[in-house]
Amino acid sequence: EISRHNAQHKPQTFWQACQLFWYMNIILQYESNASSLSLGRFDQYMLPFYQTSLTQGEDAAFLKELLESLWVKCNDIVLLRSTSSARYFAGFPTGYTALLGGLTENGRSAVNVLSFLCLDAYQSVQLPQPNLGVRTNALIDTPFLMKTAETIRFGTGIPQIFNDEVVVPAFLNRGVSLEDARDYSVVGCVELSIPGRTYGLHDIAMFNLLKVMEICLHENEGNAALTYEGLLEQIRAKISHYITLMVEGSNICDIGHRDWAPVPLLSSFISDCLEKGRDITDGGARYNFSGVQGIGIANLSDSLHALKGMVFEQQRLSFDELLSVLKANFATPEGEKVRARLINRFEKYGNDIDEVDNISAELLRHYCKEVEKYQNPRGGYFTPGSYTVSAHVPLGSVVGATPDGRFAGEQLADGGLSPMLGQDAQGPTAVLKSVSKLDNTLLSNGTLLNVKFTPATLEGEAGLRKLADFLRAFTQLKLQHIQFNVVNADTLREAQQRPQDYAGLVVRVAGYSAFFVELSKEIQDDIIRRTAHQL
Q: How many CB atoms lie within 10 A of CB 269?
A: 14
The pLDDT of 99-118, averaged and rounded, is 98
Is 405 strand, coil or helix? Answer: coil
The count of C-alpha atoms lying within 13 angstroms of the C-alpha of 62, restricted to the half-sphere facing its C-beta, is 9
Asked if residue 170 lies in contact with residue 186, where contact means CB atoms within 8 angstroms, the answer is no
From residue 178, alpha-carbon distances to 107, 184, 268, 409, 447 in Å are 9, 10, 24, 44, 21
pLDDT digits (tens, 9 = 90+) for 163-181: 999 999 999 999 999 999 9
The pLDDT of 383-403, averaged and rounded, is 95
Look at residue 531 in the predicted model and tell me its pLDDT: 87
Q: How far apart are the first and last CA of the chain?
A: 52
Q: Among residues 74, 118, 165, 191, which one is catalytic?
A: 191
Phi and psi at residue 259, to the nearest 5°: -85, -25
CA–CA separation, 426 and 414 (whole Å): 18
For residues 344, 338, 527 and 460, what is the CA-based torsion angle, rounded to 10 degrees? -10
pLDDT digits (tens, 9 = 90+) for 233-245: 999 999 999 999 9
Domain boundaries, the chain: 196-424
Q: Does residue 262 have a cis bond before it (omega within 30 degrees)?
A: no
CA–CA separation, 95 and 35 (whole Å): 6
Percent of the chain with pLDDT over 90: 91
Look at the alpha carbons of 331, 337, 341, 343 in this order and tell me if their dihedral is positive or negative. positive
| Single-letter amino acid code for the residue at 234 | Q
Closest to 278 in 3D by CA, of 291, 262, 255: 262
Look at residue 510 in the predicted model and tell me its pLDDT: 82
Q: Among residues 189, 216, 273, 368, which one is catalytic?
A: 189
pLDDT digits (tens, 9 = 90+) for 125-147: 999 999 999 999 999 999 999 99
Kindly state the DSSP code that residue 109 receives in the 8-state scheme: B
Phi and psi at residue 354, to the nearest 5°: -55, -40
CA–CA separation, 467 and 458 (whole Å): 7
Asked if residue 183 lies in contact with residue 155, where contact means CB atoms within 8 angstroms, the answer is no
The pLDDT of 247-261, averaged and rounded, is 97
The pLDDT of 357-382, averaged and rounded, is 98
Q: How many CB atoms lie within 10 A of CB 3?
A: 10
**Average model confidence (pLDDT) across the chain:** 96
CA–CA separation, 390 and 526 (whole Å): 10
Of the listed ranges 91-95, 235-239, 362-366, the one predicted with least confidence: 91-95
3-state secondary structure 185-210: EEECCCEEECCCCEECCCCCEEEEHH
The model's confidence at residue 91, banded by pLDDT at 50, 70 and 90, is: low
Give, for 30, the enclosing helix (H) or strand (E).
helix 14-32
The pLDDT of 248-266, averaged and rounded, is 97
What is the pTM (predicted TM-score) of this model?
0.96
* C-alpha 163: how far from chain center: 13
Query: Would residue 191 show up in a list of annotated catalytic residues for this protein?
Result: yes
Look at residue 431 in the predicted model and tell me its pLDDT: 98
Percent of the chain with pLDDT over 70: 99
The model's confidence at residue 525, banded by pLDDT at 50, 70 and 90, is: very high
